[in-house]
Structure 1
Amino acid sequence: MAQPKLHGRAFYESLGSPKYVLAPMVDQSEFAWRLLTRSFLPPELRTSILAYSPMLHARMFADSPKYRAAHFEPLKPPLALPQTPDEAHLKTLMEDDAYLDGNPKIDRPLFVQFCANDPDALFEAAKVVQPYCDAVDLNLGCPQGIAKRGHYGAFLQEDWDTIHKLINTLHTGLAIPVTAKMRVLESRERTLDYAKMLLDAGASIITVHGRQREQKGHNTGLADWSVLRYLRESLPPETVIFANGNILQHDDIQQCLEETKADGIMTAEGNLYDPSIFATPPPVGQEGREYWRGRDGKGGYRVDAVLRRYLDITHQYVFGEDLPMRAPLFLPSHASLEYAAANGNSEQTNGNKRSLEDTTEGERPSKKQRKEEAKQKKKGGKPEKVTNANLVAMQAHCFHILRPLVSKHHNVRDALARSRAGDIEAYENVLTLAEAAVREGLLAYEANPAEFEDAIAEGGEAESAAGVKVPDEESSDEAVRRCKRPYWVCQPYVRPLPKEALEKGSMQLSKKMMKKLEGQQRSGSVKVGEADELAVKAGVAPGGKVEAVGEDVQQEVKLPEQLSEAEKEAVVKVPTEGTKPTKAKKTGSNNVGVVDVLRILGGLFLLNCLLSYFITNDSVLWGWRPWFIRPGVVMRYMQGPIHLTDADLAAYDGSDPTKPIYLALNGTIYDVSAGRRIYGPGGSYNVFAGKDAARGFITGCFAEDGTPDLRGVEWTYVPTDVPEGNQINGRKLTGAEKTAREQVLRGARKQVQDTLVGWSKMFNGEGGKDYFEVGKVAREEGWLEKLPKRELCAPAQKARPKPQDAGQDAGAAYRGGR
């Protein structure tokens, strides 16, 4: 008898009430990384970490077997993940058939997260994974541009009806609970109403990110824990809430629990740079080889130790092979002699850095060997592209782990940049170089610890670019000093706060904020004591000139740097009376000159640009992006168009970071390098890169229709009762029926053409991205006839319009309805 479905706090308690939550991260929270994160806890405590899968695209997961195989592997090969698993199929599975994702022995508890805006597609995808996870999560927090274009993530938060349907469909249809991850809205009250809607729809757990949708990149800023505390106090006690945001170190977890009263703490970026963030540091004297602690008591896991763990997990679970033999990690003590003997060399680190920097790739092959390898590689053809999520994510993970080290040891950085997905030997070489760099750092610390400790302790009160002291809550300097460790220790990445980014010039105020600031200054009531604060917000030097504009005059007021207490309470106003504007002298002629005409036209053009930006919020030319203002297009125009065969085009699929990413649409090649995260390896739309997949853009069958063959694709838009041949019900079509059929097909072909035109406009940059046309695909005459004719793919066939959906009953003529 099936167990009853648990909900809310009962479900949370059945998982063991986990306090530590590993966030869903696009292409970053895959199986190997989840296992690495849990490995820092004792075996009996590893289930206390609740982990989320990377965000998966619901429609692609439901429709594409290739996408499912690359991103979710619960069953050992050659067992395939069925599109619609049933009880009969599940009963045939043995305990040993469990593989990676959701393995009950090593990867639980696990929530699988999807992004979606179609309840049916989300339900189909969720049904596939529900036997292999504990819950399904809906992403309502992704703030990136691709989420805006796809209308999912945080850009669904205004569409409450759709969100309610998405959650409620899973709540009523699945055998496991549904959860949701959201961001705070513009006000506490609105956020509370939003959270209540998610819970009413059926969400068992809500994760609340304390930042708004606009807070990303340099504008990330700090998460507002007070809003999370407000939700905790306003929602019923049985509501399970996870808090997300501002977690840099292990100690921050307990502080967040205390301040927000949340049930659990989720972290994303903090975990990426330090996967041991959930682990309690070992006691003093019990550090072992993996954990380093300095004289000041500050410490952390060594980057070479963490990288070893990560590669060992990849060897053992992803490749299914024995672990490589490794020498013990280096310690600057008597054990270093044992280390040197095991590595076949003596310790001769005498300050000469050249030996380390010259070892960029271990023993490099000779020129003759490289030529022979290149010849063999060419003979074997292009290697198969690696799509396994655990392998695609390796380079990014290694850069996160080694971030403090590679900024100092560029040979490690260069070797890592050259590594490719699936090339485990290349990553082993990176580990070798990292171990040598750590050994050098540890010996330098032993020789002169003060040099490193002084560098970490440097600082004082944070100051702005103009030398004015900035409060701690407006500066990241204190966080940097608290988190800073020597380069051989894993440590968080502390982002500069928005005001610091403004002062450094790495971020500019939006025009909306600039207009608000100017309006406050023009009002004539800007208090002297507030001027410096406004200046810091605007990213300019305090004590400078501020324009205070009256009705008839514009006058510059110089604010003194030092003011008395009485003056601090004063208000600087520019008088609006007693000063009259200077009138223009009469010239005795009313003729309008050329300069006047140009001035008027220029003013009208400027007003038009301002109106465009006010309405569109992202364009000053009403969405038009002329080619002459786009550098990439100008360069391509000067170089002339390119002509590539389909085989040549395949080399530009993003697997080689030194080459641009191209895709073709109906014979025209476009450069989409600006969307490398989307079209590059591991991206959601990488299936289109390096090929002409015009057919897939029409049918929506990304995996099987990656071809330029458009023959018969118009049937995607033809009602199901229109016959494909010249017969129906055993008789030939009459002349009138043939005419009606041809009219329907003509309309469908126009729809195909309109769809292709719409995509081509986007790839020409009209969608706001820096995509542009670069040339044409070169094909021999008669190439299309040499290809076998394709049938309409199953999803497109299923999605064909019914007669009542076609505007008019186009098939009536074939059913005797004439």
Structure 2
Amino acid sequence: MAKLQGFEFWSDTLKQARYVVAPMVDQSELAWRLLSRRHGAQLCYTPMLHAQVFVRDANYRKENLYNEVCEEDRPLITQVRIHTDQRLANEKLSVPITCKIRVFKEMEKTIRYAQMLEKAGCQLLTVHGRTKDQKGAMTGIASWEHIKAVRKAVNIPVFANGNIQHLSDVERCIQETGVQGVMSAEGNLHNPALFEGRSPPVWEMAEEYLEVVKLYPPCTLSYVRAHLFKLWHHTLQIHQDLREELAKVKTLEGLADVSKQLRLRCQEEIAKGKDAEEKKGDLPFPHWICQPYVRPPPKEPVANGNSQGSEVKKTVCQKRALEDSDRTADTLSKNKQKKRSRNPNKNFCPEQKPKYIKCEQCGNPKGNKCVFNLCRGCCKKKAYKEVADCPSHGLRFKTKAEKRKAEEDEQKKDEQKEDELTETERSSGSPQPLPDSSTELQEQSKAHLLL
């Protein structure tokens, strides 16, 4: 069967999907995709996969494409970091290639780049209407004008990404840009029911997500925690004690318990009639309703030639210094200050940090005393496969196997003794005396009966 091209691929394989959940690092895992599909999403992407590890490691493929047994998770696009040429990938692979780009400041440069990808074999293009510098505090507003220009310049389906916080934004974006679909990342994380046009109570989405996680493991605990932080973002600004608790718990049940406590506190506020009070803030709804987190816009330079605006913008973009020579805590980020409080001798200076040797399989730092010279993840897989121990990583597969075998051998010996006793009784025709300890107990029982 010939590989589908452009609009035929979008129409037949992707079912003319318009509502799309973006690929998100450690956040668009199977459970979250299924939750989003239940609430209106028509197409999802996997998180970005490491191309080299994906080709080399069967366990990595299995863990990251666990959805192969889940028919609900279709259609699905896998996102890989491709180092090879786009044209070569299109020629060698039997499935259509899609691409996702950010725009350049120059409209013409963006258009030329999009046309180059189309010529190289891209069958569907997603355009994020922000430049590569528009991140974090400098995120700003995405340019739908750039997206519209790209849509007019290419002959393949285009998805738009940026400025999507409500379903009304989706419809408006499609009308203004002419794209075939709209992708959401941040909006989806704060409200997975965005494509339904609903803003449900946070606990409704949180509890449903936790149920999906139980039904479709495996799911890394850090993923679940991050999702709950996003869903409960506005509420956690008020209930700081539970924010700390959510960061500390180490089990899925613990995360579910914190979410339950947040729900009970919100319901208590509702019972006391605090709905109107909560609307006085900047949020359009009370904090317990799913709604987007809107970052404050970046400060722009003053137009009258005063350099003060430029200095302000420079201050916003500039990262904190790691530390002074006298290790002043004020120069560290809040996260590093917390780490310093737990470990006063911790070193945050990159020049003085030791250079780690890379794992032979995945490239992550290997364990210093690992018997296989691997990171913990790769070491665990190898040790399990070869039934070996790695003390530095706390893995005892060989020890446990030997202990199990010893217990089984002991059990077999006991069974063999019992069989021998039974055989002796059969051959003599009369019951044999029990071992000493049993004989003593038998005599004691007789004595009790005589009394």
TM-score between the two structures when normalised by the length of structure 2: 0.70
2-structure distance, mates of 1:536, 1:196: 37
Deviations 1:100-132 (A, max 9, x none): xxx3x2100100001132x2xxxxxxxxxxxxx
| Shift in CA distance, 704/315, structure 1 to aligned 2, threshold 3 Å | closer
SS for the counterpart of 2:79 is strand
| Shift in CA distance, 689/7, structure 1 to aligned 2, threshold 3 Å | same
1-structure distance, mates of 2:368, 2:209: 34
| Shift in CA distance, 429/692, structure 1 to aligned 2, threshold 3 Å | same
Equivalent pair of 2:18/2:180 in contact (CA under 8 Å):
yes
2-structure distance, mates of 1:633, 1:685: 35
1-structure distance, mates of 2:365, 2:128: 33
SS for the counterpart of 2:194 is coil
**2:291 corresponds to which residue?**
491
Equivalent pair of 1:31/1:390 in contact (CA under 8 Å):
no
Q: Say whether residues 1:703 and 2:378 are aligned partners.
A: yes
SS for the counterpart of 1:488 is coil
SS for the counterpart of 2:354 is strand
The residue type paired with residue 286 of structure 2 is P
- The farther-off stretch of 184-193 and 19-28 is 184-193
2-structure distance, mates of 1:72, 1:275: 22
| 1:269-668 mapped onto 2 (5 Å cutoff) | 269-281=186-198, 300-318=199-217, 388-420=218-250, 423-444=251-272, 447=273, 449-453=275-279, 455-456=280-281, 484-499=284-299, 530-531=303-304, 536=309, 538-539=311-312, 631=323
Q: Say whether residues 1:234 and 2:227 are aligned partners.
A: no
| Shift in CA distance, 425/217, structure 1 to aligned 2, threshold 3 Å | same
Q: Displacement of 1:539 after TM fit?
A: 3.6
The residue type paired with residue 183 of structure 1 is R
Equivalent pair of 2:213/2:219 in contact (CA under 8 Å):
no
| Shift in CA distance, 176/230, structure 1 to aligned 2, threshold 3 Å | same
2-structure distance, mates of 1:531, 1:227: 28
Q: Say whether residues 1:35 and 2:34 are aligned partners.
A: yes
**1:292 corresponds to which residue?**
none
1-structure distance, mates of 2:111, 2:238: 46
2-structure distance, mates of 1:686, 1:488: 42
**1:12 corresponds to which residue?**
10
Deviations 1:128-167 (A, max 9, x none): xxxxxxxxxxxxxxxxxxxxxxxxxxxxxxxxxxxxx2x2
| Shift in CA distance, 536/198, structure 1 to aligned 2, threshold 3 Å | same
Equivalent pair of 1:695/1:705 in contact (CA under 8 Å):
no
| Shift in CA distance, 690/494, structure 1 to aligned 2, threshold 3 Å | farther
| 1:789-800 mapped onto 2 (5 Å cutoff) | none
Q: Displacement of 1:498 after TM fit?
A: 1.1
| Shift in CA distance, 27/635, structure 1 to aligned 2, threshold 3 Å | same
Deviations 1:702-759 (A, max 9, x none): 936999xxxxxxxxxxxxxxxxxxxxxxxxxxxxxxxxxxxxxxxxxxxxxxxxxxxx
2-structure distance, mates of 1:537, 1:632: 26
Equivalent pair of 2:275/2:286 in contact (CA under 8 Å):
no
The match for 2:66 among 73, 76, 94 is 73
Q: Displacement of 1:229 after TM fit?
A: 1.0
Equivalent pair of 2:6/2:123 in contact (CA under 8 Å):
yes
Q: Say whether residues 1:268 and 2:170 are aligned partners.
A: no
The residue type paired with residue 18 of structure 2 is K
Higher RCO (Cα < 8 Å, 6 or more apart): 2
| 1:112-191 mapped onto 2 (5 Å cutoff) | 112-117=78-83, 119=84, 165=85, 167-191=86-110
The residue type paired with residue 65 of structure 2 is F
| Shift in CA distance, 692/631, structure 1 to aligned 2, threshold 3 Å | farther
**1:52 corresponds to which residue?**
45
2-structure distance, mates of 1:685, 1:632: 35
Equivalent pair of 1:660/1:671 in contact (CA under 8 Å):
no
The match for 1:670 among 343, 354, 359 is 354
Equivalent pair of 2:166/2:197 in contact (CA under 8 Å):
no
| Shift in CA distance, 240/414, structure 1 to aligned 2, threshold 3 Å | same
SS for the counterpart of 2:378 is coil
**1:194 corresponds to which residue?**
113
| Shift in CA distance, 256/426, structure 1 to aligned 2, threshold 3 Å | same
Equivalent pair of 1:241/1:263 in contact (CA under 8 Å):
yes
| Shift in CA distance, 539/411, structure 1 to aligned 2, threshold 3 Å | closer
2-structure distance, mates of 1:23, 1:662: 37
Equivalent pair of 1:695/1:706 in contact (CA under 8 Å):
no
1-structure distance, mates of 2:343, 2:25: 24
The residue type paired with residue 73 of structure 1 is Y
| Shift in CA distance, 274/532, structure 1 to aligned 2, threshold 3 Å | farther
Q: Say whether residues 1:25 and 2:18 are aligned partners.
A: no
Q: Displacement of 1:435 after TM fit?
A: 1.8
The residue type paired with residue 204 of structure 1 is Q
The residue type paired with residue 8 of structure 1 is G
1-structure distance, mates of 2:50, 2:326: 35
The residue type paired with residue 211 of structure 2 is D
1-structure distance, mates of 2:173, 2:364: 41
| Shift in CA distance, 13/703, structure 1 to aligned 2, threshold 3 Å | same
| Shift in CA distance, 671/415, structure 1 to aligned 2, threshold 3 Å | farther
SS for the counterpart of 1:207 is strand
SS for the counterpart of 2:66 is coil
Equivalent pair of 1:276/1:301 in contact (CA under 8 Å):
yes
Deviations 1:595-616 (A, max 9, x none): xxxxxxxxxxxxxxxxxxxxxx
Q: Provide structure 1 residue ranges, at least 5 long, that are not aligned to the other structure.
A: 42-47, 75-97, 120-164, 282-299, 319-387, 457-480, 503-508, 510-516, 518-529, 541-617, 620-628, 637-656, 673-678, 708-778, 780-818
The residue type paired with residue 287 of structure 2 is Y
Equivalent pair of 1:661/1:671 in contact (CA under 8 Å):
no
Equivalent pair of 1:30/1:390 in contact (CA under 8 Å):
no
Q: Provide structure 2 residue ranges, at least 5 long, that are not aligned to the other structure.
A: 329-340, 383-391, 393-451
The residue type paired with residue 115 of structure 1 is R
2-structure distance, mates of 1:659, 1:53: 37
Equivalent pair of 2:372/2:379 in contact (CA under 8 Å):
no
Q: Say whether residues 1:111 and 2:77 are aligned partners.
A: yes
Deviations 1:342-386 (A, max 9, x none): xxxxxxxxxxxxxxxxxxxxxxxxxxxxxxxxxxxxxxxxxxxxx
The residue type paired with residue 109 of structure 1 is P
2-structure distance, mates of 1:395, 1:685: 25
Q: Displacement of 1:204 after TM fit?
A: 0.4
The residue type paired with residue 177 of structure 1 is P
| Shift in CA distance, 658/630, structure 1 to aligned 2, threshold 3 Å | closer
SS for the counterpart of 2:28 is coil
SS for the counterpart of 2:216 is helix
1-structure distance, mates of 2:65, 2:292: 29
Q: Displacement of 1:452 after TM fit?
A: 2.8
2-structure distance, mates of 1:32, 1:254: 26
| Shift in CA distance, 213/448, structure 1 to aligned 2, threshold 3 Å | closer
**1:136 corresponds to which residue?**
none
2-structure distance, mates of 1:399, 1:207: 27
1-structure distance, mates of 2:16, 2:322: 53
The residue type paired with residue 177 of structure 2 is T
